Structure 1
Amino acid sequence: MDLLDIKNLDVVFPTRRGTVHAAQGVSLTVAPGEVLGLVGESGAGKSTIGNAIMDLLEPPGYVGAGEIVFQGTDLRTLDADQMRRVRGRKIGMIFQDPQTSLNPLLTIGEQLIESIRNSLDMTEADAKQRAIQMLGDVGITEAEARLKSYPHQFSGGMRQRVVIALALSGDPDLIIADEPTTALDVSIQKQILDLIKRLCRERQLGVILVTHDIGVIAEIADRVCVMYRGRVVETGQTAQVLGAPNHEYTKSLIAAVPRADMRLERFASVDYIEGGEAAGRKIDIRTHWLGAARADATEPEETLTVENLNLSFVLEKSFFKSKRRMLKAVDNVSFSIRQGETFGLVGESGSGKSTVARIVAGLYKQDSGTVRLLGRDVKGSWSDPAERDVRRRLQMIFQDPFSSLNARLTVMDIVAEPIRFHKLTSSEAETKQIVQDLLDHVGLGAQAAIRYPHEFSGGQRQRISIARALASRPRVLICDEPTSALDVSIQAQILNLLKDLQAELNLTMLFISHDLPVIRQMCDRVAVMKQGQIVELTETEALFDAPTHAYSQSLIAQMPRMDLLEPV
């Protein structure tokens, strides 16, 4: 008997512009001990299926038709109280965005212990011990001490691990994992996937794995269900679907997966338009306002230099210095990036990659060490006009585009803000024209200016972030996991866009990613970080062909591989 049986499911969202069918006639099954992979582009309806199972659809969305039979019971027949008893205890869910699914006002320990006690009959002391065990199971070191930390004190990958621990804490029979390895490096990703596989084997746990990472599907899924615009277009055994797909959409989706075995000039793109919208027109960079910032002979050969950076965070405060517990986030890090080069930073979650980027961007203040940008030492003093002008030429594209965009502003005001702040134009009319041009150039179209961030898909929001970063005419772009939350087709579009912009504007890029195939395709040189230190710095091809450090060798060996699948 199947653990879950969905029959002809329709999910409907009424809007002012008409009715949107987020899922249409979807049928799928999950057996005990089975992992079902759910793949497709952003907006295909993957997450909608998971939310419909859990009865967590955002109003005014509703299930229009179909059955959701779990352990012999149609979940659509349960009332609100009965459904609450199913969530957590019977069905656990790993949400896509750990930042918004964790309470910022409660410690990690308080949230875990509360979830455990709500789902299991345990004392607070027993629940605390289980919370420590769960954190250890998902790869968080010093678990007992980290119970006292708040979500903002964790990196993106560590928050994702906490969310996974929360989903598993109630000992459920079915897990709906919505992008569970999105922000995780390959070593922790393998640890999480091994944990899921072990639970499936030992407890006959059923898993619906929603992911854009085809490599993860190849690694763990027993069967694959491919969705496009709310419909299932292909279902079958993993080796069959990924090794010898039948549907044209599936073929193009697999072709867009970044190659780990060789470097290509461009990413293959899926022959479908994101969101069903026409791409914007391209502007001529040579004659446009944006092109005025292109590098000239006066720029130094080394655009960005970092020397002996150090930064520590306090884990446990104490009046007595000897009793304080410190975390050395960045430990004597040094590197330089040449003009027009893409320099990669890789390493496991919590290794210090994003911390280095935030120090360079002026968001964190280092304990010691220097940052030289465009030939000038920068110390984070925004009151100095000369340093402020240098800082303007460095912009950052953040990992999560939704939380880095102001939800109360239109796209016009979001992209125009850097232009207005730095007084880069002489009139508001010129500012608005430049914003419209930028939106066109990143493929959104000028009509996007009047809309708000929540009206866009994840890939479209990342394009808004890129347009905003370009608005101050930067010379250096810091890309902190810019495609980690995107499916492979949208990822290909965004990465091709960054390659085009770099070629047009001669941009220098610091590129941070846990996705090693993406690093191979994007970067000229790579530094591998572990526990705040750089353990290897070399040319990209040299790293992938013959890594010298044991940790680098381990990372390369743990990459999910598509070639594990033989066509059937």
Structure 2
Amino acid sequence: MALLDIENLRIEFSSRRGNVVAIQDVSLSLEKGEILGVVGESGAGKSTIGNAVIGLLEAPGKMTGGAVLLNGERIDKLSAAAFRLVRGRRIGMIFQDPLTSLDPLQTIGQQLVETMQVHLQLTQQQASARAIELLESVGIEQARIRLQHYPHQFSGGMRQRVVIALALCCEPEVIIADEPTTALDVSIQAQILDLLRKLCKEKQVGMILITHDMGVIAEVTDRVAVLYRGKLVEEGPTRRLLSNPQHLYTKSLISAVPRSDIKLRRFPMVTYIEDVIAPSLRSNLATATRWMGEHRDYGASSDRPLLQVENLSMRFVLKNAFRKRNRVMLDAVKNVSFSIKAGEVFGLVGESGSGKSTIARLIAGLYQTTNGSVIFNDVNVTQLTDAKTTNAFRRQIQMVFQDPFSSLNPRMRILDIVAEPIRFHKLARTEALTRQIVSGLLDYVGLGDQALLRFPHEFSGGQRQRICIARALATRPRFLICDEPTSALDVSIQAQILNLLKDLQESLGLTILFISHDLPVIRQMCDRVGVMRHGELLEVADTEALFSNARHDYSKHLLSLMPSLDFLSRDGLQVEAG
């Protein structure tokens, strides 16, 4: 008898336009101590299966067929009260969007302690001590102090670690990990994956690992199931399936994995997927391309940097106190200096919490600097006070955030979300032209007209990130800050989006600050790379020089942690070397 059995699962979503079948007769099993990987495109149904197993399938979604059994006991028919005893205690879940799965009104400590007291009957003191151990085990420093902080006081990667700690706190029999390493850098990812692997083997915990990261799949899983449009198209042992895939969709999916050994001019094309789902990408591209290329007077090119960051510092107060000496401070950024030339793609890598996103927000004017300056096109933007000048600057610098759901207004339709910056800056003469531009931008990122009148909650995580990218492009920016822009995307859509960014950079002279923990993506995208740790910039080098001969020990350590993907099938791969 398997630990978990999913038998002929069928899930449908009802709407005014009829029923949509999200999962079609999918059967999976999970043994004790086994890690089962589930891969597929964004929207393929991976998270839907996880939500159904843990009893969190939201209306109008419902199971219309099949069964879910835990140790032979059918759990999909349990009452809401009975399922609450299963959820968290026997089945834990690591959610894809850490910010939306944490209570913003409770501290991290309160959420951990409450969960353990409900399921494990621990005292306040026992639960607090275990909470500190859990935070330390997932790599959060100063855990005792951090227990008192709220989710918004953590970086995206650190919030992900908190969610992992919450899933592990009650020692469940089954863990459903929905993109557990999406926001984690390679060093913390290796630490978390080791922790999850050890937990499964020593305590015989079964895990369903939902991810688009083939490196994670290759490193951790025992078996892999491949989903496409709600159907199970292939399943087998990890090594065999990745090195010798049988289904054309699986081959296409693997071909899109970024190379870490060589730099290519473009990301490989995923022909099977694109031929099926993306013919509309060609319909409105001309309008969007023409509009983004109009009226772009950037002046004559020069050797002067477009952006200069000089001795930039940012300090946060972790624990306030009346007496200054009793305050606990965090130096998120420490005297960082670098420059970015016009038309260059500059990458920032480093651990979660190393200060990468803080630098991005300082450049965009979302944070006030503690010290130092940001000079954009010879203007010190840290000293801007006039609203008109500030708005003109912000139009030229746009940002794609790490958490797509939290950066979209849930009450606005996609048409209005993408059109808002166009309307604010008065970039289009008529509302009809605004709608046409928005349609073209949505085509650019692979969504199309059908997305215009829908709301953010109707999209998967990867689709929401594409909406964020379309909105960032809406003001025809000169400088684009991409803060983990593809962390929520599956590899095929990631290839499309990164090729799009390459095209924009080349055709429009777009300058990009590209922040990512995915080193193969950094190698393919960036001209130069800066390596950060604990708020300090340790090394800046040309990309190929960094990957072939890194100078700093920490840079070498990061590169050594990249998963080896040499055995992946590269059949039919269209390669254009750079």
TM-score after normalising by structure 2? 0.94
Alignment partner, residue 208 of structure 2: 208
Q: Which runs of 5+ in 2 are unaligned?
A: 571-578
Alignment partner, residue 158 of structure 2: 158
**Residues 382, 453 of structure 1: CA spacing in aligned structure 2 closer, same or farther, 3 A cutoff?**
farther
CA distance in 2 between counterparts of 1:70 and 1:286 reads: 52
CA contact (8 A) 1:68 1:74 kept: yes
Query: What aligned pairs does 1:436-447 form with structure 2 within 5 A after superposition?
Result: 436-447=439-450
Alignment partner, residue 232 of structure 2: 232
Amino acid corresponding to residue 372 of structure 1 in structure 2 = I
Query: What aligned pairs does 1:332-411 form with structure 2 within 5 A after superposition?
Result: 332-379=335-382, 381=384, 383-411=386-414
Deviations 1:156-175 (A, max 9, x none): 00000000000000111110
Alignment partner, residue 552 of structure 2: 549
Matched, 1:45 2:45: yes
CA distance in 1 between counterparts of 2:57 and 2:392 reads: 46
Amino acid corresponding to residue 470 of structure 2 in structure 1 = A
Q: How far has the Cα of 1:474 moved from its partner?
A: 1.1
Alignment partner, residue 515 of structure 1: 518
Give SS of 1:293's match.
coil
Query: What aligned pairs does 1:56-455 form with structure 2 within 5 A after superposition?
Result: 56-270=56-270, 271-273=272-274, 278-279=280-281, 280-283=283-286, 287-288=290-291, 290-293=293-296, 295-297=298-300, 301-379=304-382, 381=384, 383-455=386-458
Q: How far has the Cα of 1:559 moved from its partner?
A: 1.1
Q: How far has the Cα of 1:285 moved from its partner?
A: 7.2
Alignment partner, residue 534 of structure 2: 531
Give SS of 1:67's match.
strand
Q: How far has the Cα of 1:500 moved from its partner?
A: 1.2
Aligned residues: 567
Amino acid corresponding to residue 187 of structure 2 in structure 1 = S
Q: How far has the Cα of 1:424 moved from its partner?
A: 2.8
**Residues 350, 501 of structure 1: CA spacing in aligned structure 2 closer, same or farther, 3 A cutoff?**
same
Percent of pairs identical after alignment?
59
Alignment partner, residue 480 of structure 1: 483
Point out the more displaced range, 477-486 or 413-422.
413-422
Amino acid corresponding to residue 122 of structure 1 in structure 2 = L
**Residues 426, 6 of structure 1: CA spacing in aligned structure 2 closer, same or farther, 3 A cutoff?**
closer
**Residues 248, 407 of structure 1: CA spacing in aligned structure 2 closer, same or farther, 3 A cutoff?**
same
CA distance in 2 between counterparts of 1:135 and 1:564 reads: 35
Amino acid corresponding to residue 9 of structure 2 in structure 1 = L
CA contact (8 A) 1:291 1:505 kept: no
CA contact (8 A) 1:41 1:212 kept: yes
Alignment partner, residue 576 of structure 2: none
Q: How far has the Cα of 1:276 moved from its partner?
A: 6.8
Q: How far has the Cα of 1:550 moved from its partner?
A: 0.8
Alignment partner, residue 573 of structure 2: none
Alignment partner, residue 467 of structure 1: 470
Deviations 1:138-172 (A, max 9, x none): 11111111000100000000000000000000111
Alignment partner, residue 540 of structure 1: 543
Point out the more displaced range, 299-308 or 469-478.
299-308
CA contact (8 A) 2:251 2:569 kept: no
Alignment partner, residue 575 of structure 2: none
Amino acid corresponding to residue 534 of structure 2 in structure 1 = Q
Give SS of 1:483's match.
coil
Point out the more displaced range, 85-94 or 270-279.
270-279
Amino acid corresponding to residue 482 of structure 1 in structure 2 = P
Q: How far has the Cα of 1:518 moved from its partner?
A: 0.5
Query: What aligned pairs does 1:8-27 form with structure 2 within 5 A after superposition?
Result: 8-27=8-27
CA distance in 1 between counterparts of 2:373 and 2:434 reads: 35
Q: How far has the Cα of 1:22 moved from its partner?
A: 1.2
Q: How far has the Cα of 1:75 moved from its partner?
A: 1.0
Q: How far has the Cα of 1:289 moved from its partner?
A: 5.6
CA contact (8 A) 1:285 1:504 kept: no
Give SS of 1:101's match.
coil
Give SS of 1:401's match.
coil
CA distance in 2 between counterparts of 1:389 and 1:483 reads: 27
Q: How far has the Cα of 1:300 moved from its partner?
A: 6.6
CA distance in 2 between counterparts of 1:297 and 1:276 reads: 38
CA contact (8 A) 1:7 1:27 kept: yes
Give SS of 1:339's match.
coil
Give SS of 1:105's match.
coil
**Residues 448, 65 of structure 1: CA spacing in aligned structure 2 closer, same or farther, 3 A cutoff?**
closer
Amino acid corresponding to residue 119 of structure 1 in structure 2 = H
CA distance in 1 between counterparts of 2:450 and 2:3 reads: 46
Q: Which runs of 5+ in 1 are unaligned?
A: none
CA distance in 1 between counterparts of 2:76 and 2:428 reads: 57
Q: Following TM superposition, where does structure 1 have runs of at least 4 consecutive aligned residues deviating by more than 4 angstroms?
A: 273-277, 284-287, 564-567
Point out the more displaced range, 379-388 or 118-127.
379-388
